[in-house]
A = this chain, B = another copy of it.
Amino acid sequence: MGDSVAVLLDIDGTLVDTNYFHALAWYRAFRQEGHPVTVTDLHRRIGMGSDQMLDAVLPDRDRGRDDVLQAAHTEHYAAFFGLIRPLPGARDLLRHLRRSGAQVVLATSAPPEELRVLRRSLAAEDALTAVTSSADAENAKPEPDILAAALDAAGVGAEEAVMVGDSRWDVLAASKAGLACVGVLTGGISRAELDDAGAVAVYRDPADLLDHLDDSPVGRLLRRIP
Contact = CB atoms under 8 A, between A and B. Distances in A.
A161 B24 CA distance: 35
A193 interface: yes
Nearest to A85: B36
A186 B20 contact: no
Contact of A40 (B83, B85, B186): B186
Interface residues of A, number: 28
A39 B20 contact: yes
A28 B192 contact: no
A31 interface: yes
A188 B191 contact: no
A27 interface: yes
A38 B38 CA distance: 22
Given A192-B192, A192-B193, A186 B38 contact: yes
Q: Which of A21, A24, A39, A205 has the most CB of B within 10 A?
A: A39
A36 B27 CA distance: 25
A165 interface: no
Contact of A83 (B19, B27, B83): B27
Interface string A176-211: 000000000111111111000000000001000000
Interface of A: 17, 19-21, 23-24, 27-28, 31, 36, 38-40, 43, 83, 85, 87-88, 185-193, 205
Contacts of A17: 38-40
Q: How many copies of this chain does one complex carry? A: 2
12 contacts: A17-B40, A20-B24, A20-B39, A21-B24, A21-B39, A28-B83, A38-B186, A39-B188, A40-B186, A40-B187, A190-B192, A191-B192
Contacts of A88: 36, 38
Nearest to A87: B38
Contacts of A40: 17, 19-20, 185-188
B20 A43 contact: yes
Nearest to A40: B188
A22 to B, nearest CB: 11
Nearest to A196: B192
